[in-house]
Amino acid sequence: MELALFSGNSLAFLARWVHLLAGVTWIGLLYYFNFIQGEYFKEADGGAKSDVIQKMVPRALWWFRWGAMFTFLSGTYLLYLKHLSGMGIIIGATLGTIMFLNVWLIIWPNQKTVIASAKQVAGGGEALPGAAAALGKAGLASRTNTLFSIPMLFFMASSVHLGQLQTSIHSAGATSLVVVFGLIGLLTLNGVMGKTGPMTSVKGVIGNGFALTAVLYLLVELL
């Protein structure tokens, strides 16, 4: 008798399993950084904050960035393996890809500067000149990822549960594509060189995440 794990769908199943495990790790830590650690830092004294940045943040960032990496790689493999092209899954994959790039190209490089600066100050030296700016850039990208995570998860789930969003992106209207991906592009650009604005507070970023989900869904359905 052939075991189910070694059947024809085994590779797809294993890739989806890795995708879920890595995704839970990644998004869980994203929410930890934004909803818990960030709020703690607003109240912590300088010594406690420095200790966390030097000792705990590097460990959390290791799991964070590699969770993002394995989520992205397994998700890309699933798209290839299943030839997925539904509008919902492509929107979710686009948001996830932007989030992955934010982790590796913005959040992690800037957090390295922040960590190095904290260690230098703890050793009696001066803060690195670019540390404050690096913290701001990392924070903006992290808030943008939190914003994107809510519609990303919605559209990823839609590939199974909302059949109308499985319509191939190739048959979608040009107006819908331009408006949907144009909006995502503008928000991505703001995440690189803009401001947190209404995403500054935890309530703000969560509320705007749900609002963005509703807007993107209505744009896909109505255009």
By residue count, the chain amounts to 223
CA dist 217 and 212 (Å) reads 8
Using CA atoms, how far residue 58 sits from 51, 61, 119, 149, in Å, is 11, 5, 12, 22
Q: Which tens digit of pLDDT belongs to each residue from 82-92?
A: 877 788 899 99
Confidence of residue 8 (pLDDT cuts 50, 70, 90): low
Q: Which tens digit of pLDDT belongs to each residue from 196-216?
A: 999 999 999 999 999 999 999
CA dist 194 and 187 (Å) reads 9
**pTM to 2 decimal places:** 0.93
Using CA atoms, how far residue 94 sits from 31, 45, 75, 149, 155, in Å, is 20, 39, 11, 11, 10
Q: Which tens digit of pLDDT belongs to each residue from 170-198?
A: 677 788 889 999 999 999 999 999 999 99
Can you give the residue ranges of every domain in the chain?
9-222
Residue 131 predicted with pLDDT over 60: yes
Confidence of residue 112 (pLDDT cuts 50, 70, 90): very high
Look at residue 84 in the predicted model and tell me its pLDDT: 78
